[in-house]
Amino acid sequence: MADRARHAALYVRVSTDAQREEGYSIDAQSEMLVAYCVSRGIRQYELYVDGGFSGSHIDRPEMTRLIADIRLRKISHVVVYKLDRLSRSQKDTLYLIEDVLLPNGVSFVSLNENMDTATPIGRAMLGIMSAFAQLERETIRERTRMGMKERVKSGLWPGGGKIPFGYDYDASRGILVPNRDADTVRLMYELYLRGWSMMAIARYTGLKYERLAEQILRRKTNAGYIVYNGETYRGQHEAIVSEETYEATMRKMAERARGNLGQAKCLLAGLIYCGVCGAKMRYQKWGKAGYKIYCYSQDKGKPHLSHGGPCRNGKMWADELEQTVIEDLFSMSSKRLENESEDEHRGDARELFEKQMDRLSRKLKNLYHLYGDSGDQALTETIEDTKRDLEAVKERLLAYEAENQSSQARQVALTELNNAEKAWDYMTQAEKQNVLRSMIERIVVTYDRVEVYYKLLTDAGKDAIMEP
Protein backbone atom coordinates (compact mmCIF):
# COMPACT_ATOMS: atom_id res chain seq x y z
CA MET A 1 0.00 0.00 0.00
CA ALA A 2 1.46 3.32 -1.04
CA ASP A 3 1.94 6.06 1.53
CA ARG A 4 -1.15 8.20 1.51
CA ALA A 5 -0.46 11.87 0.74
CA ARG A 6 -2.20 14.47 2.85
CA HIS A 7 -4.64 16.83 1.20
CA ALA A 8 -5.95 20.29 2.00
CA ALA A 9 -9.47 20.44 3.46
CA LEU A 10 -11.58 23.30 2.11
CA TYR A 11 -14.32 23.81 4.68
CA VAL A 12 -17.51 25.67 3.67
CA ARG A 13 -20.48 26.47 5.92
CA VAL A 14 -23.61 28.45 5.14
CA SER A 15 -26.37 28.85 7.72
CA THR A 16 -30.03 28.95 6.70
CA ASP A 17 -29.99 32.75 6.55
CA ALA A 18 -26.39 33.30 5.42
CA GLN A 19 -27.02 33.71 1.70
CA ARG A 20 -29.56 36.45 2.28
CA GLU A 21 -27.83 38.18 5.19
CA GLU A 22 -24.15 37.87 4.27
CA GLY A 23 -24.27 37.83 0.48
CA TYR A 24 -22.16 34.79 -0.31
CA SER A 25 -23.12 31.25 -1.17
CA ILE A 26 -21.59 27.78 -0.97
CA ASP A 27 -20.49 28.04 -4.61
CA ALA A 28 -18.87 31.43 -4.07
CA GLN A 29 -16.92 30.25 -1.02
CA SER A 30 -15.87 27.05 -2.79
CA GLU A 31 -14.53 28.96 -5.81
CA MET A 32 -12.42 31.25 -3.60
CA LEU A 33 -10.98 28.34 -1.62
CA VAL A 34 -10.10 26.37 -4.75
CA ALA A 35 -8.50 29.49 -6.26
CA TYR A 36 -6.34 29.81 -3.12
CA CYS A 37 -5.11 26.23 -3.53
CA VAL A 38 -4.31 26.77 -7.20
CA SER A 39 -2.39 29.96 -6.42
CA ARG A 40 -0.33 28.17 -3.77
CA GLY A 41 0.36 25.11 -5.91
CA ILE A 42 -1.75 22.83 -3.71
CA ARG A 43 -2.96 20.11 -6.05
CA GLN A 44 -4.66 17.75 -3.63
CA TYR A 45 -7.69 19.19 -1.87
CA GLU A 46 -11.22 18.16 -0.89
CA LEU A 47 -14.34 20.17 -0.11
CA TYR A 48 -16.21 19.68 3.16
CA VAL A 49 -19.58 21.46 2.89
CA ASP A 50 -22.11 21.97 5.71
CA GLY A 51 -25.13 23.68 4.19
CA GLY A 52 -27.86 24.99 6.47
CA PHE A 53 -25.98 24.57 9.77
CA SER A 54 -25.48 27.18 12.48
CA GLY A 55 -21.99 28.16 13.58
CA SER A 56 -23.00 28.16 17.26
CA HIS A 57 -21.82 24.55 17.65
CA ILE A 58 -19.59 22.05 15.82
CA ASP A 59 -22.08 19.19 15.73
CA ARG A 60 -22.30 19.20 11.93
CA PRO A 61 -21.93 16.21 9.55
CA GLU A 62 -19.04 17.49 7.45
CA MET A 63 -17.28 19.02 10.46
CA THR A 64 -17.46 15.61 12.14
CA ARG A 65 -15.96 13.97 9.02
CA LEU A 66 -13.28 16.65 8.85
CA ILE A 67 -12.20 16.07 12.47
CA ALA A 68 -12.06 12.33 11.84
CA ASP A 69 -9.88 12.80 8.74
CA ILE A 70 -7.56 15.13 10.65
CA ARG A 71 -7.05 12.55 13.38
CA LEU A 72 -6.36 9.94 10.71
CA ARG A 73 -3.57 12.22 9.45
CA LYS A 74 -5.19 12.75 6.05
CA ILE A 75 -5.18 16.56 6.19
CA SER A 76 -2.34 19.05 5.73
CA HIS A 77 -4.30 22.35 5.78
CA VAL A 78 -7.78 23.49 6.73
CA VAL A 79 -8.79 26.49 4.63
CA VAL A 80 -11.92 28.61 5.19
CA TYR A 81 -13.22 31.79 3.60
CA LYS A 82 -13.87 33.46 6.93
CA LEU A 83 -13.12 32.60 10.56
CA ASP A 84 -16.78 32.35 11.58
CA ARG A 85 -17.32 29.70 8.89
CA LEU A 86 -15.37 27.38 11.17
CA SER A 87 -17.32 28.38 14.30
CA ARG A 88 -18.90 31.40 15.93
CA SER A 89 -17.96 30.10 19.38
CA GLN A 90 -14.58 31.12 20.79
CA LYS A 91 -14.48 27.94 22.87
CA ASP A 92 -15.15 25.69 19.85
CA THR A 93 -12.71 27.60 17.64
CA LEU A 94 -9.87 27.31 20.13
CA TYR A 95 -10.72 23.65 20.68
CA LEU A 96 -10.51 22.94 16.94
CA ILE A 97 -7.23 24.80 16.56
CA GLU A 98 -5.41 23.87 19.77
CA ASP A 99 -6.75 20.33 20.35
CA VAL A 100 -7.47 19.03 16.84
CA LEU A 101 -5.48 20.84 14.16
CA LEU A 102 -2.15 21.75 15.76
CA PRO A 103 -1.52 18.39 17.56
CA ASN A 104 -1.99 16.65 14.20
CA GLY A 105 0.31 18.98 12.28
CA VAL A 106 -2.50 20.76 10.41
CA SER A 107 -2.27 24.45 9.51
CA PHE A 108 -5.34 26.69 9.53
CA VAL A 109 -5.86 29.39 6.89
CA SER A 110 -8.63 32.00 6.82
CA LEU A 111 -8.73 34.04 3.60
CA ASN A 112 -10.83 36.93 4.86
CA GLU A 113 -8.68 37.57 7.93
CA ASN A 114 -5.41 36.80 6.06
CA MET A 115 -4.51 34.36 8.83
CA ASP A 116 -2.20 31.35 8.78
CA THR A 117 -1.59 29.43 12.01
CA ALA A 118 1.68 28.11 10.64
CA THR A 119 3.10 31.41 11.96
CA PRO A 120 3.15 32.67 15.60
CA ILE A 121 1.48 35.93 14.51
CA GLY A 122 -1.29 33.97 12.82
CA ARG A 123 -1.99 32.00 16.02
CA ALA A 124 -2.09 35.20 18.08
CA MET A 125 -4.47 36.85 15.60
CA LEU A 126 -6.69 33.79 15.73
CA GLY A 127 -7.22 34.11 19.47
CA ILE A 128 -8.06 37.79 19.16
CA MET A 129 -10.47 37.33 16.24
CA SER A 130 -12.20 34.42 17.95
CA ALA A 131 -12.76 36.51 21.07
CA PHE A 132 -14.37 39.32 19.08
CA ALA A 133 -16.53 36.92 17.07
CA GLN A 134 -17.81 35.38 20.30
CA LEU A 135 -18.46 38.82 21.81
CA GLU A 136 -20.42 39.95 18.75
CA ARG A 137 -22.55 36.81 18.75
CA GLU A 138 -23.33 37.00 22.47
CA THR A 139 -24.18 40.71 22.19
CA ILE A 140 -26.66 40.01 19.38
CA ARG A 141 -28.15 37.12 21.32
CA GLU A 142 -28.58 39.21 24.46
CA ARG A 143 -30.26 42.03 22.55
CA THR A 144 -32.56 39.56 20.82
CA ARG A 145 -33.43 37.90 24.14
CA MET A 146 -34.22 41.24 25.78
CA GLY A 147 -36.39 42.31 22.85
CA MET A 148 -38.21 38.98 22.84
CA LYS A 149 -38.89 39.19 26.57
CA GLU A 150 -40.40 42.66 26.19
CA ARG A 151 -42.53 41.34 23.34
CA VAL A 152 -43.85 38.46 25.44
CA LYS A 153 -44.47 40.71 28.45
CA SER A 154 -46.78 42.76 26.27
CA GLY A 155 -48.77 39.59 25.51
CA LEU A 156 -47.51 38.94 21.96
CA TRP A 157 -46.44 35.47 20.83
CA PRO A 158 -42.62 35.20 20.63
CA GLY A 159 -42.79 33.80 17.11
CA GLY A 160 -40.69 31.04 15.63
CA GLY A 161 -40.76 27.45 16.75
CA LYS A 162 -43.79 25.21 16.68
CA ILE A 163 -47.24 26.77 16.90
CA PRO A 164 -49.37 25.06 19.61
CA PHE A 165 -51.99 22.58 18.44
CA GLY A 166 -55.36 24.35 18.20
CA TYR A 167 -53.89 27.69 17.12
CA ASP A 168 -52.58 29.51 14.05
CA TYR A 169 -50.15 32.42 14.18
CA ASP A 170 -51.30 35.81 12.88
CA ALA A 171 -48.00 37.46 11.98
CA SER A 172 -49.59 40.84 11.24
CA ARG A 173 -51.00 41.09 14.78
CA GLY A 174 -48.31 39.02 16.49
CA ILE A 175 -50.79 36.80 18.32
CA LEU A 176 -52.19 33.27 18.23
CA VAL A 177 -55.63 32.70 16.75
CA PRO A 178 -57.75 29.58 17.54
CA ASN A 179 -58.29 27.36 14.49
CA ARG A 180 -60.62 24.43 13.76
CA ASP A 181 -58.57 22.14 16.03
CA ALA A 182 -59.52 24.29 19.02
CA ASP A 183 -62.73 22.28 19.40
CA THR A 184 -60.64 19.11 19.64
CA VAL A 185 -58.55 20.68 22.40
CA ARG A 186 -61.69 21.63 24.35
CA LEU A 187 -63.00 18.08 23.96
CA MET A 188 -59.72 16.66 25.27
CA TYR A 189 -60.02 18.65 28.50
CA GLU A 190 -63.65 17.61 28.88
CA LEU A 191 -62.87 13.91 28.38
CA TYR A 192 -59.94 13.98 30.78
CA LEU A 193 -62.00 15.58 33.53
CA ARG A 194 -64.63 12.86 32.94
CA GLY A 195 -61.97 10.27 33.78
CA TRP A 196 -60.74 9.17 30.36
CA SER A 197 -57.13 7.95 30.14
CA MET A 198 -54.53 9.69 27.98
CA MET A 199 -54.37 6.67 25.70
CA ALA A 200 -58.17 6.65 25.23
CA ILE A 201 -58.19 10.39 24.49
CA ALA A 202 -55.35 10.02 21.98
CA ARG A 203 -57.15 7.21 20.13
CA TYR A 204 -60.50 9.04 20.15
CA THR A 205 -59.04 12.30 18.82
CA GLY A 206 -56.71 10.66 16.27
CA LEU A 207 -53.40 11.47 17.96
CA LYS A 208 -50.64 8.94 17.36
CA TYR A 209 -49.21 8.90 20.90
CA GLU A 210 -50.77 9.33 24.31
CA ARG A 211 -47.78 11.51 25.22
CA LEU A 212 -49.00 14.08 22.68
CA ALA A 213 -52.35 14.25 24.44
CA GLU A 214 -50.63 14.99 27.74
CA GLN A 215 -48.42 17.67 26.18
CA ILE A 216 -51.44 19.43 24.70
CA LEU A 217 -53.37 19.39 27.97
CA ARG A 218 -50.41 20.76 29.93
CA ARG A 219 -49.95 23.81 27.70
CA LYS A 220 -50.98 26.88 29.65
CA THR A 221 -51.22 28.66 26.29
CA ASN A 222 -54.67 27.07 25.99
CA ALA A 223 -55.80 29.12 29.01
CA GLY A 224 -54.62 32.44 27.53
CA TYR A 225 -51.06 32.55 28.87
CA ILE A 226 -47.58 32.52 27.33
CA VAL A 227 -44.78 30.61 29.04
CA TYR A 228 -41.35 31.95 28.05
CA ASN A 229 -38.03 30.94 29.64
CA GLY A 230 -39.80 29.61 32.71
CA GLU A 231 -41.85 32.80 33.23
CA THR A 232 -45.62 33.01 32.68
CA TYR A 233 -47.25 36.08 31.08
CA ARG A 234 -50.84 36.93 30.21
CA GLY A 235 -51.21 36.69 26.42
CA GLN A 236 -53.30 38.83 24.10
CA HIS A 237 -54.59 35.70 22.30
CA GLU A 238 -58.01 34.16 22.88
CA ALA A 239 -58.05 31.29 25.36
CA ILE A 240 -59.39 27.93 24.17
CA VAL A 241 -60.43 26.84 27.69
CA SER A 242 -61.05 28.77 30.88
CA GLU A 243 -58.38 29.12 33.53
CA GLU A 244 -60.63 27.14 35.91
CA THR A 245 -60.80 24.21 33.46
CA TYR A 246 -57.03 24.26 32.99
CA GLU A 247 -56.32 24.32 36.74
CA ALA A 248 -58.85 21.53 37.38
CA THR A 249 -57.08 19.42 34.75
CA MET A 250 -53.68 20.02 36.35
CA ARG A 251 -55.05 18.98 39.76
CA LYS A 252 -56.52 15.84 38.20
CA MET A 253 -53.15 14.99 36.62
CA ALA A 254 -51.38 15.41 39.97
CA GLU A 255 -53.92 13.12 41.65
CA ARG A 256 -53.45 10.44 39.00
CA ALA A 257 -49.67 10.76 39.22
CA ARG A 258 -49.80 10.09 42.95
CA GLY A 259 -51.94 7.05 42.23
CA ASN A 260 -49.40 5.75 39.70
CA LEU A 261 -46.31 5.91 41.87
CA GLY A 262 -45.98 2.17 41.43
CA GLN A 263 -44.78 2.85 37.88
CA ALA A 264 -41.53 4.13 39.39
CA LYS A 265 -40.75 0.49 40.19
CA CYS A 266 -40.38 -0.22 36.47
CA LEU A 267 -36.59 -0.11 36.58
CA LEU A 268 -36.02 -1.55 33.11
CA ALA A 269 -38.74 0.38 31.25
CA GLY A 270 -37.60 1.31 27.74
CA LEU A 271 -34.68 -1.14 27.73
CA ILE A 272 -36.49 -4.43 27.05
CA TYR A 273 -37.01 -5.81 23.51
CA CYS A 274 -38.80 -8.89 22.25
CA GLY A 275 -36.47 -11.54 20.85
CA VAL A 276 -39.29 -13.04 18.76
CA CYS A 277 -40.61 -10.07 16.76
CA GLY A 278 -38.22 -7.23 17.68
CA ALA A 279 -40.80 -4.90 19.23
CA LYS A 280 -40.31 -3.20 22.58
CA MET A 281 -41.71 -4.85 25.70
CA ARG A 282 -43.68 -3.13 28.44
CA TYR A 283 -44.66 -3.50 32.08
CA GLN A 284 -48.24 -4.53 32.84
CA LYS A 285 -49.89 -4.51 36.26
CA TRP A 286 -50.82 -8.10 37.12
CA GLY A 287 -53.34 -7.75 39.95
CA LYS A 288 -51.85 -7.59 43.43
CA ALA A 289 -49.03 -9.95 42.50
CA GLY A 290 -46.95 -7.24 40.80
CA TYR A 291 -45.96 -6.56 37.19
CA LYS A 292 -45.31 -8.75 34.19
CA ILE A 293 -43.28 -7.98 31.07
CA TYR A 294 -44.97 -8.55 27.71
CA CYS A 295 -44.48 -7.62 24.05
CA TYR A 296 -46.11 -4.51 22.53
CA SER A 297 -47.13 -6.64 19.55
CA GLN A 298 -49.60 -8.27 21.95
CA ASP A 299 -51.12 -4.87 22.86
CA LYS A 300 -54.00 -4.01 20.53
CA GLY A 301 -54.26 -0.56 22.09
CA LYS A 302 -50.89 0.57 20.66
CA PRO A 303 -50.70 -0.67 17.07
CA HIS A 304 -47.96 1.84 16.20
CA LEU A 305 -45.57 -0.04 18.51
CA SER A 306 -46.43 -3.48 17.12
CA HIS A 307 -44.08 -5.34 14.78
CA GLY A 308 -46.56 -7.22 12.66
CA GLY A 309 -49.44 -8.72 14.55
CA PRO A 310 -49.79 -11.03 17.55
CA CYS A 311 -46.47 -12.22 19.01
CA ARG A 312 -46.01 -15.61 20.64
CA ASN A 313 -43.37 -14.50 23.12
CA GLY A 314 -44.30 -15.34 26.71
CA LYS A 315 -44.81 -13.08 29.71
CA MET A 316 -42.22 -12.82 32.46
CA TRP A 317 -42.48 -11.53 36.01
CA ALA A 318 -40.84 -8.10 36.14
CA ASP A 319 -39.24 -8.48 39.56
CA GLU A 320 -37.53 -11.73 38.51
CA LEU A 321 -36.13 -10.14 35.35
CA GLU A 322 -34.95 -7.04 37.23
CA GLN A 323 -33.22 -9.12 39.88
CA THR A 324 -31.50 -11.28 37.26
CA VAL A 325 -30.22 -8.26 35.32
CA ILE A 326 -29.06 -6.38 38.43
CA GLU A 327 -27.19 -9.41 39.78
CA ASP A 328 -25.42 -9.95 36.47
CA LEU A 329 -24.55 -6.27 36.18
CA PHE A 330 -22.96 -6.10 39.61
CA SER A 331 -21.27 -9.50 39.31
CA MET A 332 -18.91 -8.06 36.71
CA SER A 333 -17.95 -4.83 38.44
CA SER A 334 -15.21 -5.90 40.89
CA LYS A 335 -13.82 -8.73 38.72
CA ARG A 336 -13.59 -6.72 35.52
CA LEU A 337 -12.36 -3.62 37.30
CA GLU A 338 -9.45 -5.76 38.55
CA ASN A 339 -8.83 -7.14 35.04
CA GLU A 340 -8.90 -3.66 33.49
CA SER A 341 -6.41 -2.47 36.13
CA GLU A 342 -4.10 -5.39 35.30
CA ASP A 343 -4.32 -4.49 31.61
CA GLU A 344 -3.11 -0.99 32.41
CA HIS A 345 0.16 -2.41 33.73
CA ARG A 346 0.99 -4.34 30.60
CA GLY A 347 2.87 -1.34 29.31
CA ASP A 348 2.22 1.27 26.67
CA ALA A 349 2.82 -0.12 23.17
CA ARG A 350 2.68 3.36 21.63
CA GLU A 351 6.41 3.88 22.20
CA LEU A 352 7.17 0.60 20.42
CA PHE A 353 5.05 1.57 17.41
CA GLU A 354 6.65 5.01 17.25
CA LYS A 355 10.13 3.51 17.33
CA GLN A 356 9.19 1.16 14.49
CA MET A 357 7.79 4.07 12.48
CA ASP A 358 10.94 6.12 13.13
CA ARG A 359 13.19 3.22 12.06
CA LEU A 360 11.19 2.60 8.88
CA SER A 361 11.06 6.32 8.06
CA ARG A 362 14.84 6.59 8.37
CA LYS A 363 15.27 3.45 6.27
CA LEU A 364 12.96 4.86 3.60
CA LYS A 365 14.87 8.14 3.58
CA ASN A 366 18.17 6.33 3.11
CA LEU A 367 16.70 4.22 0.30
CA TYR A 368 15.52 7.36 -1.50
CA HIS A 369 19.05 8.82 -1.20
CA LEU A 370 20.60 5.63 -2.58
CA TYR A 371 18.14 5.58 -5.44
CA GLY A 372 18.81 9.23 -6.20
CA ASP A 373 22.56 8.66 -6.28
CA SER A 374 22.61 5.40 -8.22
CA GLY A 375 19.32 5.21 -10.10
CA ASP A 376 19.32 1.47 -9.36
CA GLN A 377 15.87 0.17 -10.32
CA ALA A 378 16.35 -2.82 -8.01
CA LEU A 379 15.85 -0.44 -5.08
CA THR A 380 12.29 0.45 -6.11
CA GLU A 381 10.89 -2.87 -4.87
CA THR A 382 12.64 -2.42 -1.50
CA ILE A 383 11.25 1.13 -1.28
CA GLU A 384 7.71 -0.06 -1.95
CA ASP A 385 8.06 -2.86 0.64
CA THR A 386 9.32 -0.38 3.23
CA LYS A 387 6.45 2.01 2.51
CA ARG A 388 3.96 -0.84 2.98
CA ASP A 389 5.61 -1.80 6.26
CA LEU A 390 5.46 1.81 7.45
CA GLU A 391 1.79 2.10 6.53
CA ALA A 392 1.03 -1.16 8.34
CA VAL A 393 2.68 0.11 11.54
CA LYS A 394 0.71 3.37 11.31
CA GLU A 395 -2.55 1.42 11.01
CA ARG A 396 -1.62 -0.76 14.00
CA LEU A 397 -0.87 2.38 16.00
CA LEU A 398 -4.29 3.84 15.15
CA ALA A 399 -5.96 0.57 16.13
CA TYR A 400 -3.99 0.50 19.39
CA GLU A 401 -4.97 4.08 20.25
CA ALA A 402 -8.65 3.32 19.55
CA GLU A 403 -8.51 0.24 21.79
CA ASN A 404 -6.70 2.23 24.47
CA GLN A 405 -9.44 4.87 24.48
CA SER A 406 -12.09 2.14 24.66
CA SER A 407 -10.27 0.54 27.59
CA GLN A 408 -10.13 3.86 29.44
CA ALA A 409 -13.87 4.35 28.89
CA ARG A 410 -14.54 0.86 30.28
CA GLN A 411 -12.35 1.65 33.29
CA VAL A 412 -14.43 4.75 34.07
CA ALA A 413 -17.70 2.84 33.58
CA LEU A 414 -16.60 -0.03 35.83
CA THR A 415 -15.48 2.39 38.54
CA GLU A 416 -18.87 4.13 38.42
CA LEU A 417 -20.62 0.76 38.53
CA ASN A 418 -18.56 -0.35 41.52
CA ASN A 419 -19.53 2.84 43.37
CA ALA A 420 -23.19 2.38 42.41
CA GLU A 421 -23.20 -1.15 43.80
CA LYS A 422 -22.07 0.11 47.20
CA ALA A 423 -24.77 2.82 47.28
CA TRP A 424 -27.55 0.81 45.58
CA ASP A 425 -29.67 0.22 48.69
CA TYR A 426 -29.64 3.96 49.45
CA MET A 427 -30.56 5.16 45.96
CA THR A 428 -33.97 6.42 44.85
CA GLN A 429 -35.79 4.57 42.09
CA ALA A 430 -34.96 7.36 39.63
CA GLU A 431 -31.24 7.15 40.51
CA LYS A 432 -31.29 3.37 40.01
CA GLN A 433 -32.94 3.81 36.62
CA ASN A 434 -30.25 6.30 35.59
CA VAL A 435 -27.50 3.82 36.52
CA LEU A 436 -29.13 1.00 34.53
CA ARG A 437 -29.68 3.21 31.46
CA SER A 438 -26.08 4.42 31.53
CA MET A 439 -24.73 0.85 31.59
CA ILE A 440 -27.21 -1.17 29.50
CA GLU A 441 -27.84 -0.77 25.77
CA ARG A 442 -30.81 -3.15 25.63
CA ILE A 443 -32.23 -6.38 27.06
CA VAL A 444 -33.63 -9.00 24.69
CA VAL A 445 -36.18 -11.47 26.09
CA THR A 446 -36.96 -14.60 24.06
CA TYR A 447 -39.38 -16.77 26.02
CA ASP A 448 -37.34 -17.65 29.15
CA ARG A 449 -34.02 -16.60 27.66
CA VAL A 450 -32.55 -13.18 28.50
CA GLU A 451 -29.67 -11.48 26.67
CA VAL A 452 -28.15 -8.31 28.11
CA TYR A 453 -26.22 -5.95 25.84
CA TYR A 454 -23.94 -3.57 27.75
CA LYS A 455 -22.61 -0.24 26.50
CA LEU A 456 -18.99 0.08 27.66
CA LEU A 457 -18.45 -2.75 30.10
CA THR A 458 -17.43 -5.34 27.50
CA ASP A 459 -15.64 -5.55 24.17
CA ALA A 460 -18.37 -7.40 22.29
CA GLY A 461 -21.47 -5.69 23.68
CA LYS A 462 -23.57 -8.78 24.45
CA ASP A 463 -22.26 -10.13 27.69
CA ALA A 464 -24.90 -12.11 29.51
CA ILE A 465 -27.23 -14.90 28.49
CA MET A 466 -29.48 -15.96 31.33
CA GLU A 467 -32.53 -18.01 32.07
CA PRO A 468 -34.21 -16.48 35.14
Residue 196's alpha-carbon distances to 31, 187, 264, in angstroms, are: 62, 11, 22
For residue 225, the cross-strand partners are 234
**What are the residues whose beta carbons fall under 8 Å from the beta carbon of 339, sequence distance 6 or more?**
none
Active site residue 15: yes
- Which residue out of 15, 76, 297, 333 is catalytically annotated? 15
Contact 116, 109 (CB under 8 A): yes
Please provide the size of the chain in residues: 468
Is the CB of residue 332 less than 8 Å from the CB of residue 302? no
Phi, psi of 270 (to 5 degrees): 90, -10
**φ/ψ bin of 310: left (φ > 0), alpha (ψ from -120 to 50), beta (otherwise):** beta
Nearest in space to 54 (alpha carbons), one of 152, 141, 164: 141
Q: How far apart are CA 84 and CA 66, in angstroms?
A: 16
**Number of CB atoms found within 10 A of residue 274's CB:** 22
> Residue 214's CB: how many other CB atoms inside 10 A?
15
Task: Give the contacts of 314 (CB within 8 A, at least 6 positions apart).
Answer: 447, 448
Which residues have a catalytic role annotated? Answer: 15
